Amino acid sequence: MVDAGTLATTAQVLLAIGENASATQILEANTNIWILQAEALIFLETDRDYVTDYASLAANVKQSLALCASSKAAFLAVNQNQNQWQLATSQSKLNVLDIAYRETLDRIKAVDL
Q: Does the pTM exceed 0.85? A: yes
What does the domain layout of the chain look like in residue ranges? Answer: 10-111
Q: Is the dihedral of CA 72, 57, 9, 49 positive or negative?
A: positive
Buried b / exposed e over 77-111, threshold 16 CB at 10 Å, is bbeebeebbeeeebeebbebbeebbeebbeebeee
Which tens digits make up the pLDDT trace of 78-108? 998 777 778 888 899 999 999 999 999 999 9
